[in-house]
Amino acid sequence: GAVVSQHPSRVICKSGTSVKIECRSLDFQATTMFWYRQFPKQSLMLMATSNEGSKATYEQGVEKDKFLINHASLTLSTLTVTSAHPEDSSFYICSARDSRWQAFFGQGTRLTVV
């Protein structure tokens, strides 16, 4: 099946710094990518939908100035957590949709803000 690579898999950062997470579709073009957040013992919550070349659509309650999403190419979307705080610590997962509208998930990024 198609492969979506997410990097890094784990990151620890200091409070107040910014962290960038990359999501790449390795063997297909993804016009649409999705970013999710998963809290411990909870389900995945959709944060935003990003379309290549246009601004991301954020879900209600998600701060777009805090979670910057860039989808500059058909194979790469990035999520930048700006001025991270401990409450931003979570598991972030991206998914990329191919031309047949099938979605493939990355392996996720465990963010810890200390």
Partner 1 sequence: AQSVTQPDIHITVSEGASLELRCNYSYGATPYLFWYVQSPGQGLQLLLKYFSGDTLVQGIKGFEAEFKRSQSSFNLRKPSVHWSDAAEYFCAVGASQGYQKVTFGTGTKLQVIP
- Name which of 87 and 99 has its Cβ closer to partner 1: 99
Q: Is 6 in the site for partner 1 (CB under 8 A)?
A: yes
Q: Is 93 in the site for partner 1 (CB under 8 A)?
A: yes
Nearest distance in Å: CB 7, partner 1: 12
Q: Residue 83, SS3?
A: coil
Give buried/exposed letters for 76-91 (b at 16+ CB in 10 A, else e). bbbbebeebeeebbbb
Rounded CA separation 13/53 (Å): 29
- Name which of 13 and 103 has its Cβ closer to partner 1: 103
Which is nearest to 49 in space by CA: 62, 40, 39?
62
Of the candidate residues 14, 41, 60, 99, the single one contacting partner 1 (CB under 8 A)? 41
The site for partner 1 (CB under 8 A) is made up of: 4, 6, 9, 32, 34, 41-46, 49, 93, 95, 97, 101-108
